[in-house]
Structure 1
Amino acid sequence: MCATPYAVLGPDDCDFYDNRMARMEAARPAGAADAWTVAVRAGLDPAKVADLQLEAFEAEGHEWWLVTSDAEVIESVLYNYPEERVANAPDAGD
């Protein structure tokens, strides 16, 4: 099922959104605020922050539970690749 593009996924499928979110929440460090709390504290949309954190989590990003923006997803994912962080810095093309 996961190899079929645009397949309709249900609760029994590994890539079902709720299952992915459950895996992320199970991996969230003890004491770390959930995505909703992080978003509300920052005045952001909780659903957007949860999706950003899921993206960073699934990419094995560093401290994914703190992510609140697209830029932070990239920073989180590239954390272990310093050469890529430098190459992708906003002023790298200057």
Structure 2
Amino acid sequence: MQVQNHASVDLYVDEVLRHAKVILISLHGGIGYWRYGVERLMELAARGVQVILVRADDRPDPELSDLSTVPAVERDRLWQFLRQGGLQN
């Protein structure tokens, strides 16, 4: 899904994500790549939505990960699941 401009982010947050209980985002390029989207996700987190943010590659990103609202062990486990490939996954 591509939600790159502010209007498309706002629409997706307002129409879809605000109804979610948990949101998992695997983000290419870190916070700087999608700062407005991350800011909107943090607004949802402030309202009680669990937000999990991980990088879309195999390099840790503490700035991004620290924004997640779940314990680090759970966030890191999900990140590792997303990094695995193959039919078993």
TM-score, normalised via structure 2 length: 0.26
Q: Comparing both chains, which one has the higher relative contact order based on Cα–Cα distances under 8 Å and sequence gaps of 6 or more?
A: 2
TM-score, normalised via structure 1 length: 0.26
